[in-house]
Amino acid sequence: MLGVPEVVEHLPGIDSLGSEARIAPSVSVLRYGADTPAITLGNNCSLYDGVRLVIGNPAQHPDCGIRIGHRVIVNVGAYLSGEGGLTLEDDVLIGPGAFLLSAGHQIHGGHPCINHNPLTYGPIRVGQGAWIGAGAFVLQGVTIGQGAVIGAGSVVTRDIPPFAVAVGNPARVIHSRQGFDAPRQANRLARFLTRLRKTIA
């Protein structure tokens, strides 16, 4: 198939690769330190041209790693950071040029040069069947719910409920996918109860 990566049996830097995985030759892996198994791909995954997988040293952070489920498609030029932990559940779609960033730099109260400050970490989880649109950014510590959609170019700074459609910078939920309203209502109730508890405390 023209433009579709070939099936490969291994790729340097990936510790476990499922069957029928398609990985373009230009996919790159950056990892530091220990050789602890930290990057796994499920069956029938596709990583297209220019995808970059990045992890730190698993010995330095317990959540470090990239775990990709079955039938996940990561389109051209996407950047997947697993320093703080990244999980893509089955059937996730990652659009071209999307960035999933599970680590950053402390910016307050430290050294005046940002690159001398310690890293900050937060695991990212993208639920089954979710779609991250082209050029979107998902920041550390965020969970994207099952079947959710993140609009192209959005910047996701907080959790997105299952089956929600979120757009903008920062991303805001604009509605639920048609036919999938119930999970959002349950999430709205959970947020209300959380606010109520904080008010009472």
Residues tagged active-site: 105
Q: Are 25 and 3 in contact (CB under 8 A)?
A: no
Q: Could you tell me which of 168, 164, 171, 82 has the C-alpha nearest to residue 130?
A: 164
Q: Are 80 and 55 in contact (CB under 8 A)?
A: no
Please name the residues in contact with 36: beta carbons below 8 A apart, sequence gap of 6 or more.
58, 59
Q: Could you tell me which of 68, 70, 71, 62 has the C-alpha nearest to residue 86?
A: 68
Q: In whole angstroms, what is the distance from residue 107 CA to residue 116 CA?
A: 10
Length of the chain: 201
Please give the structure tokens belonging to residue 101.
Answer: 């960033």
Q: What angle do CA 13, 46, 6 make, to 5 degrees?
A: 85
